[in-house]
Amino acid sequence: MEIISEKALFLLSCFISSCFLILATSRFRRRATTLPPGPPRFPIIGNIHQIGKNPHRSLANLSKTYGPIMSLKLGCLDSVVITSPEAAREVLKTHDQTLSGRKSNDSIQCFGHHEVSVIWLPPSSPRWRMLRKLSVTQLFSPERMEATKTLRMKKVQELVRFMTECSEREEAVDISHASFTTVLNIISNIMFSVDLGSYDSEKSSRFQDTVVSAMEAAGKPDAANYFPFLGFLDLQGNRRAMKASTDKLFRVFRGFIDAKIAGKSLWNHSKNVLTSDFLDALLLLAEGDEAELDNNDIEHLLLDMFTAGTDTSSSTLEWAMAELLSNPKTMAKAQEEIDRVIGQNGVVQERDISVLPYLQAVVKETFRLHPSAPLLVPRNAESDVEVLGFMVPKDTQVLVNVWAIGRDPSVWENPTRFEPERFLGREIDVKGRDYELTPFGGGRRICPGLPLAVKTVSLMLASLLYYFDWKLPNGVVSEDLDMDETFGITLHKTNTLYAVPVQKRTIN
């Protein structure tokens, strides 16, 4: 009987263990195949009616109800929205490989940009790896950043001299236009060794309008993104706007390409990589029977660099100045630090930024409240993947709402206030490792232009605060300064910021 009892006990134990394993496996499978929660959907349109003209804001509001990982049905498009640092870490780091594809929209596809763009190609593509490596080594490596340091300094000094002229006339400055011209000339010299912008002409304004139009067309909600069969109708006019803008930019690029080839400048510079410009390097790769690039590839890569490089940095500078003018005590504190470090008759240099912690905090706070790409660039799930216990199915669009994360009261104290002090004494940066602050993205999709953007914005802002005091024009008071925003792939200030520079020292 004892032997029978022991056998029965053993069998009972095995049965219970098996049941437990089956139950646990079943529960795991149910959890792993459950979609993230989301708002109720209407037939056919799903949740399109809840997006609005400012998706970053409407999605942030919906996430307060449905959580940090939320699913939406936008017509035919399945979407998942991420609004917490923990969920962002899952997307940008843990499952970066699976979620690093791109979900390109109709305005990008209408001129074939998704097939040749370093921004839109999938990382699995050998062409993406080649273009990414080329961009990093020829534009943003430490060696290239050092080689172009003098250029950045020269262009920022030209900005200061323009502001000095405006100060002498007591004239209000269009901060958006002035900062865009500076960034445009930095980028165009790195690319082509020429200035494309001028502070005193409308040429820069037209170029800026063209770039902004392209960014808005790429980012605005569009029926064709939700119902692809409607693309040919171009109901929102995004295709027309995108084609008109990109055609203008391509004509500029073709002019430089033709001039380079005709003038043989390619061969003049080919022996010295650090003194040649980016177009020289690209044309070298387009030579011969086994060329790695053709002119079409070059034009689309230049489009990526110009649109991503000029618009984002200039809009960040404008937001920073708007916030400082809205918070005079904060501006005074930043100026006091710069004056103390630089002295009364010095020159702001890039190397000074590392010893200006409050200025760095101002820049970080600007990125927190006004990230250039509030939803980052849409990602695409290459296969089914589990994120925070929920299933994100293959071919789902994944949006990381960095704007919402930057204003989350569970992450940030007084999240809607501009308080650079929150970053003092904290080891947090924008390099894609701190997921509560990722304006440049993270993982293999992190913006390669991050080093140039941070250096350029910081140097421009420090210079404007060192050489000038600032006041608002026409009796506008800081409390009433308009901070409305317009959504595209990048987030712009709706109404341009005008401010009057009051010179307090001359540039050497």
Summarised one tens digit per residue, pLDDT across range 54-94 is 999 999 999 999 999 999 999 999 999 999 999 999 999 99
Residues 6+ positions from 290 with CB-CB distance below 8 Å: none
How far apart (Å, rounded) are the C-alpha atoms in residues 20 and 367?
Answer: 49
Q: Across-strand partners of 160? A: none
How far apart (Å, rounded) are the C-alpha atoms in residues 499 and 473?
Answer: 6
Residues 6+ positions from 406 with CB-CB distance below 8 Å: 367, 368, 369, 371, 412, 415, 436, 437
- Predicted pLDDT at 487: 84
DSSP calls for 333-388: HHHHHHHHHH-TT----GGGGGG-HHHHHHHHHHHHHS-SSTT-SPEE-SS-EEET
Answer whether 0.85 is exceeded by the pTM. yes
What does the CA dihedral 458, 88, 418, 317 come to, rounded to 10 degrees?
Answer: 30
Q: Residue 493 phi/psi, 5° resolution?
A: -75, 125
State the average pLDDT over residues 481-485: 88
Q: Does residue 218 or residue 325 have the better pLDDT?
A: 325
Predicted confidence band of residue 275 (pLDDT cuts 50, 70, 90)? low
Predicted confidence band of residue 244 (pLDDT cuts 50, 70, 90)? very high
Q: Residue 43 phi/psi, 5° resolution?
A: -60, 145
pLDDT at 26 over 50: no
Average pLDDT value over all residues in the chain: 89
- Predicted pLDDT at 262: 84
pLDDT at 470 over 80: yes
State the average pLDDT over residues 386-395: 96
Residue % of the chain over a pLDDT of 70: 91
- Sequence letter at residue 365: E
| Structural tokens at position 339 | 């004056």
* Alpha carbon 430 to chain centroid, angstroms: 11
Predicted confidence band of residue 16 (pLDDT cuts 50, 70, 90)? very low
Instruction: Give just the sign of the alpha carbon dihedral 164, 166, 171, 177.
Output: negative
Are 371 and 377 in contact, with CB atoms under 8 Å apart? no
Q: Which fold has domain 34-503?
A: Cytochrome p450 (1.10.630)
State the average pLDDT over residues 20-39: 61
Alpha helices in 124-237 (DSSP H): 126-135, 142-147, 149-168, 175-192, 203-219, 223-226
